[in-house]
Amino acid sequence: MWLQNPINKFWYSLRGLKDIGSTLVQGSASYVFDMWVKLILEKRRQLTSQFHDEIVLEIKEGFEDKAKELVTSSINKLNEILGLNRELGISVQFGKRYSEIH
């Protein structure tokens, strides 16, 4: 059985009807996250790290507003591109160590 994802237009081969929900959710989430990262990388060529559904940017002190603007404008642009029924949002946190932002 084949299923086309309405967001990314990819075709998925399914083993059974029970796989429809998780396949669509995981495929859509992965596609959306990758598109968001691509938009960020168009403006800033370096990501410090990426974990599942989050990115880490190393920035100089005093540039928090610019970093927040970068990731926020990128998710807003992605919302325009995708035209989903619900807008996607992000959470932005700052800290000197990963444990402070996770």
Tens place of pLDDT for every residue, the chain, 102 residues?
Answer: 999 999 999 999 999 999 999 999 999 999 999 999 999 999 998 889 988 889 999 999 999 999 999 999 999 999 999 999 999 999 999 999 889 987
Q: In which domain, by residue range, is 96 found?
A: 31-101
* Pairwise CA distance, residues 47 & 19, whole Å: 33
Q: Is residue 57 part of a domain?
A: yes
Stated pTM of the model: 0.89
Tokens representing 38 are: 């691509």
Looking at residue 47, its pLDDT comes to 86
Quick check: is 65 in a domain?
yes
Distances (CA, A) of 67 to 3, 15, 60, 64: 38, 43, 10, 5
Residue 7 belongs to a domain = no
